[in-house]
Chains A and B, each alone.
Chain A
Amino acid sequence: MTSHMTPEEIEQQADGEAEFAEHLRDCAVCANAVLGAMQMKRAIRAMPRFTPPAALRARVLAAPPRRSYSAWWLAAAAVLAVVVAGVVLLRARDAAARQLVDLHTTILASANPVDVLSTDRHTVKPWFEGRLPFAVDVPDLAPPFHLIGARVIYWRGQPGAYLLIGKGAHRISLFVFAGDAVPRAIASHAGMSIEVWRARGLAYVAVADVPANDLQPLRQAFARD
């Protein structure tokens, strides 16, 4: 007698897919294993079967069906897609808010928050030339707003203009980006008001510890032609 039957051969023998009669005659170990496999098969086959309800046969015979299994699934998938898209959008807004508030706080905490210190918009606008791939229009700011300075920042891998604007003792960060990487709306975060607007192909995001309403005049000044 050579080696024992492999697990495959045991199952094949029990399933009637192959025949190892000669080996089984001489090997009690394998014969026992085959017997065990056959007993398990028998036990499984002896289990009570699930019987379909009588009404199902009538439904199957009647066409079209009461409702479609796959249509139900498609509807569920559509609902899921909307929910996922909503969650993704909200998370993107939330992440943008956190990042911009962090930038605002970091810049204000810096010893040199701006690279060009100037209250003169005619100094600031040309300073950006050659530093950014787009032109930044700095309007004449009416009190209580006053320009403090500017710098170039990077957010999500793209360059943007940063304008530091004062309103009394408050400091407002105004971020300016080209393109549409900025969400349409960003919720306020950590007690900071965030105002987003678009004008002439640029996206503006103002972040400050002032009520959102107080940012409106700033928005109007920058959105004006």
Chain B
Amino acid sequence: MTRDSADPRAAFEELALPLFEPLYNYARWLTHDPIEAEDLVQETYLKGLRGFGSFAAGTNFRAWMYRILRNTFLTSRSGLRAVPPVSIDEDPDTYEQISVSETPESLFFARADSETLRVSIEALPLLFREVLVLSDVENMSYREIAETLSIPIGTVTSRLIRARQKVRNTLRGER
């Protein structure tokens, strides 16, 4: 990939357009709403283009674009509603410990159709939902998620565990 300094817009589009579908997908997971997701993606591209000069070449462009989209969402009406005013990162010691008698996960994932799975992920609070989506839907590494969300890797791990536990509990409850 080359950055043509003569035409920053072309350089931006070359980097940003391959992210079009993933950004829209992420926007849908954040907003739960197709219209809002469209506006969010459009605003993200506009802000990205405007701020492209401040993007440091060689750093993670994908994380940069996701971060713009997320920040735009968080300052929107539904974004402000989605984030609780207090921290939700609880003590990792409260995680469920592995139980020997636990039903193998495979049993209920075989039964859980993707619609049930989607509903249980959509029910997650935003801060848990986004790490799960970035990790398991967008296939980001812990490091890249940490960079996108501007949080430590340890927080990524603990939120991810709690997100997955919540989804598992929901699926179990629906057995």
**Residues on B with beta carbons closer than 8 Å to the beta carbon of A56:** 24, 38, 41-42
8 cross-chain CB contacts under 8 A: A8-B161, A30-B98, A35-B105, A36-B106, A40-B164, A56-B38, A65-B42, A69-B42
Partner of A76, one of B72, B77, B142, B165: B77
Please tell me if B141 contacts chain A, counting CB pairs below 8 Å: yes
Beyond contacts A7-B92, A17-B141, A52-B21: 13 other A-B pairs, Cβ-Cβ < 8 A, are A7-B97, A7-B98, A11-B157, A29-B100, A30-B98, A32-B105, A35-B105, A40-B168, A44-B117, A52-B24, A56-B38, A64-B46, A65-B42
**Residues on B with beta carbons closer than 8 Å to the beta carbon of A67:** 39
Which A positions have Cβ atoms within 8 angstroms of B?
4-5, 7-8, 10-12, 15, 17, 29-30, 32-33, 35-37, 39-41, 43-53, 56-57, 59-61, 63-70, 72-73, 76
Asked if residues B42 and A11 are in contact (CB atoms below 8 Å), the reply is no
A53 to B40, CA, bound (A): 14
Q: How large is the interface on B (under 10, 10 to 19, 20 to 34, 35 or more residues)?
A: 35 or more
B52 to chain A, nearest CB (A): 12
Asked if residues B168 and A48 are in contact (CB atoms below 8 Å), the reply is no
Asked if residues A51 and B157 are in contact (CB atoms below 8 Å), the reply is no
A220 to B127, CA, bound (A): 63
A36 to B75, CA, bound (A): 37
Asked if residues A69 and B25 are in contact (CB atoms below 8 Å), the reply is no
A64 to B50, CA, bound (A): 11
B54 to chain A, nearest CB (A): 18
Please tell me if B118 contacts chain A, counting CB pairs below 8 Å: yes
Contacting A at CB under 8 A, from B71-127, are 72, 75-77, 92, 95-98, 100, 102, 104-106, 109, 112, 114, 117-118, 121
Asked if residues A47 and B109 are in contact (CB atoms below 8 Å), the reply is no
Q: Which residue of B lies closest to A62 (CB)?
A: B42
A73 to chain B, nearest CB (A): 5
B144-175 CB contact bits vs A (8 Å, 1 = yes)? 00000000000001101100110110000000
A32 to B103, CA, bound (A): 10
Q: Which residue of B lies closest to A64 (CB)?
A: B46
Partner of A65, one of B24, B37, B43, B104: B43
A59 to chain B, nearest CB (A): 6
Asked if residues A53 and B75 are in contact (CB atoms below 8 Å), the reply is no
A112 to chain B, nearest CB (A): 51
Asked if residues B20 and A57 are in contact (CB atoms below 8 Å), the reply is yes
Asked if residues A10 and B109 are in contact (CB atoms below 8 Å), the reply is no
Asked if residues A36 and B142 are in contact (CB atoms below 8 Å), the reply is no
**Residues on B with beta carbons closer than 8 Å to the beta carbon of A70:** 43, 72, 75-76
